[in-house]
Amino acid sequence: MPAASLPEKQILNGNSKSAKDFDVDDVLKRLTTPEKISLISGTDFWHTASVHRLGIPAIRTTDGPNGVRGTRFFDGVPAACLPCGTALAATWDVDLIRQGGELQGKEAIAKGASVILGPTTNMQRSPLGGRGFESFSEDPVLAGQMSIATVKGIQSTGVAATLKHYACNDLEDKRLSSNSIVTERALREIYLMPFQMAQRDAKPMCFMTAYNLVNGTHASESPKLLQQILRDEWGFDGMVMSDWFGVYSTSESIKAGLDLEMPGPTYVRGAQVDLALRCGKLLIHHIDARVKEVLKLVKRVMPLGIPEDAEERTIDSPETAALLRKLASESTVLMKNEKNVLPFSKEKTTAVIGPNGAFAAYCGGGSAALPAYYTVTPYEGVKAKVPNAEYELGVPAWKRMPLLSNMTKTEGGKQGLSMKFFLDPPSVKGRQPVDQLRVRDSYIHLSDYKHPRIATDLFWCDFDGKFTPSETAEYEFSCSVAGTAKVFVDGELVVDNMTKQRPGDSFFGIGTVEEIGSIHLEGGREYNVHVDFGTMPTLTYKKDGVTAFGAGGVRLGCYRKICFETEVARAVALAKKVDQVILCAGLNGDWESEGYDRPHMDLPPGSDELIKAVLAANPNTAVIIQSGTPVTMPWRDQAAALVQAWYGGNETGNAIADVVFGDVNPSGKLPLSFPVRNEDNPAFLNYVSDDNRVLYGEDVYVGYRFYDKTKRAPAFPFGHGLSYTTFSLSDLRITSEEDEDLLISLTVTNTGTFPGAEVVQAYISPRAPSIARPVKELKGFTKLFLAAGERGSAEIRIPRKYATSFYHEGRGAWASEKGVYDVLVGTSSAELPLRGEFDVRETTYWTGL
């Protein structure tokens, strides 16, 4: 059923039928013990429990962090997809990020949700993290400021934000059992700092615990993290929930401070809590403490007036599209622009080449993925400005084949596949479907599919579609599955992922590898594609250490069989005949996803060779890389123009075209150092769960801190980003008095011919520290938009104790050490032309915020 549209005014005001208010302490006294136990676990994948007799409604949570999916993985209501976390941080624009958070809050209300599971505040420790694209930065201050802005934006709408994943959840390998072994100093200065800053300045209503252990204790049952630091030291007054299926104990997690187990129905609490109460492992006051926090959250979001069974709606609008386009374009980083190759002219002949050119890599994979209102490919964005632009693939860069649903139509002529649900397998003659619908996307995840006649996770589905090839060729069909499946073309078996199955990394790690089969097809002829699918219980193997979600799923792909040499030759021929080339390469949500880490930093096979060949054929080429984390660029010296475009959300293609053709002057800055190769990054030797042990051997030297200390130059430094105009910085002034903020002010002048924006970055360097410290650390920044020739004043205000302190493990406190501190101000971690200083006259120690 298509989602209804909801006016924005109603989104902001909530539903008029709001539930009555209640007194938390009074309700707590009146609850029965079974009711209390029910409130500290979810009831299903997204909802908390209700107690209607006391006026306590159930509330709905929904996935973030770059958009609001709603309650359905399967056949979900479309949503606004924001750029990924690293892209958002690349804007270095807290006001813009706050607007993005506000949009998410409005989207949540439209989806009937009171709680957004985001932002992702974890640190970018290595380029290889599977969920690295979700996080903001390698630097805790930048990540902290982005988290603050996001939380403020979300909660300005009345919706609760959830900082996640607390803490040290920065790799996917054995994520349930990996033990992050980290010094107390690194834990405080790097991994907890962005959470601490967000609690200080934004007061999020919720925290979500990580899957992993931190120094020997799972985060979801760590008294140190949940009680001593979060609540006692930082003064957090909100609810702590688990990550989904991230609770591994009953009594321990409750006593530690974990309020809500998600999802439901409960598998750790429920009857186990009742037993723990009866045997004395838990006392009723332990339960009351957890229930109280759940009730407080319910009370805080009740003014939204969202009914329990709220219909999921959309608020797609021109205003939404404009904001998404601005977020994507402002996040785009101009890495190189020799001889002012960019911006391109709309009057010249133009080619778009590359695997990401006609493919919308708009978001990463896993729980961050969502069905977007629409997507725009780079080729579509370019053609809107240069209608005669031409395209060639060059090489495939997909890890899994393009979706079959992009090529098929249903019997009624609509894009996608028809899907029928059965209680019996295909071997049962005369079986009748219990449900049927059209699916627009052949990546089917049935974790939340429900039907009144289907009582278990065991059922079967048929998929059918019509496919008319555009040319005569060998075509490949693919299938990965959490269950079993067979793919037929005109009755001929092409892919068998049922008889013999191989474990892979699909479907959050529980599914099979992608099995591929090929068949010769004639161009212009219509073929019937049929798929037999059995759900998760039919899977023929068991895989330890991963979580199975409900009825499983299937992913179906198709594309003509590729010959690398032929495709590259076609791309080179096109490059030679046009004036300018936009070469779109990179990764996508199959390469970067929850559930697994990247094995290396390289682009997909063939991409580097394609880029080198096209650069040789036409030097007037702009290379556009889409990825959420750094990739190796062995051709970077040959590329005159290089753009990092991330995963840009709905408006990906338009934003890329806006920057390439100069309708937007790029102002993005790297939130990550881009190493020359993976072996150069500080976590290289330790970024693996080795016998469940993850040793944080780089200590506090994460990202640019490491490159500074070792005097090892990265390919592109943290904070780097060019513009079509130029800026000069001058007149640095520093005001610093004891017990007051550090105030840094300077003059910024746009010395070029384009209007544009510059990010002014302030780093602090202790001149004579008593312990080993990073050479410098980012402590503040601001972004100024200036017309050509305009001069403006920039101010950066930093709390003195945050500017100067390190964590003193011996004292268990922060130490603001006496001495002289240098203030280094510039436009990247490697370009700091202005220098000043200030004194701290006396060493002081502090805890808390």
| pLDDT profile of the chain (849 residues), mean per 10 | 42 45 96 98 96 97 93 90 98 98 98 98 96 97 98 98 97 94 98 98 98 98 98 98 97 98 96 97 98 98 96 95 98 98 98 96 91 95 98 93 94 94 96 95 90 95 96 96 97 97 90 96 97 96 75 95 94 98 96 93 97 98 98 98 98 98 98 97 93 96 98 97 98 88 97 98 97 98 98 97 98 97 98 97 96
Kindly state the DSSP code that residue 289 receives in the 8-state scheme.
H
| Whether the Cβ atoms of residue 836 and residue 732 lie closer than 8 Å to each other | yes
User: To which H or E segment does residue 194 belong?
Assistant: helix 193-201
Kindly state the DSSP code that residue 402 receives in the 8-state scheme.
P
* CA–CA distance, 700 with 185 (Å, rounded to integer): 7
- What is the length of the chain? 849
Active-site annotation holder among 75, 93, 139, 243: 243
Peptide bond into 90 cis (omega under 30): no
| 439: nearest Cα among 408, 418, 422, 456 | 418
The alpha carbon torsion through 279, 282, 284, 288 (nearest 10 deg) reads: -150
* CA–CA distance, 744 with 835 (Å, rounded to integer): 11
Sorted by where each begins, the domain ranges of the chain are 727-846
In the block, residue with structure tokens 């391109």: 344
Please give the C-alpha separations between residue 506 and each of 78, 548, 550, 592, in angstroms, as whole numbers.
23, 11, 15, 12
What is the predicted pLDDT for the residue at 75?
85
What is the predicted pLDDT for the residue at 63?
93
What count of Cα atoms within 13 Å lies in the side-chain half-sphere of residue 67?
32
| Whether the Cβ atoms of residue 497 and residue 486 lie closer than 8 Å to each other | yes
Please give the C-alpha separations between residue 841 and each of 123, 737, 817, in angstroms, as whole numbers.
33, 10, 8
* CA–CA distance, 786 with 425 (Å, rounded to integer): 66
* CA–CA distance, 316 with 78 (Å, rounded to integer): 9
* CA–CA distance, 489 with 473 (Å, rounded to integer): 14
What is the predicted pLDDT for the residue at 19?
54
- pTM of the prediction? 0.94
Query: Order of strands, edge to edge, in the sheet holding 834-840?
Result: 777-786, 756-766, 819-826, 834-840
| 744: nearest Cα among 806, 812, 647, 835 | 835
Please give the C-alpha separations between residue 98 and each of 13, 204, 762, in angstroms, as whole numbers.
19, 14, 21
DSSP 783-844: EEEE-TT-EEEEEEEE-HHHHHEEEETTTTEEEE--EEEEEEEESBTTB--EEEEEEE-S-E
* CA–CA distance, 164 with 122 (Å, rounded to integer): 7
* CA–CA distance, 266 with 704 (Å, rounded to integer): 43
* CA–CA distance, 64 with 558 (Å, rounded to integer): 30
What is the predicted pLDDT for the residue at 545?
66
- Report the CATH fold assignment for 727-846: Immunoglobulin-like (2.60.40)
| 782: nearest Cα among 749, 746, 806, 815 | 746
| 593: nearest Cα among 371, 361, 396 | 361
Which residues, in sequence order, are bridge partners of residue 800?
Answer: none
What is the CA 639 to chain-centroid distance, rounded? 29
Active site residue 243: yes
Peptide bond into 318 cis (omega under 30): no
What is the predicted pLDDT for the residue at 509?
84
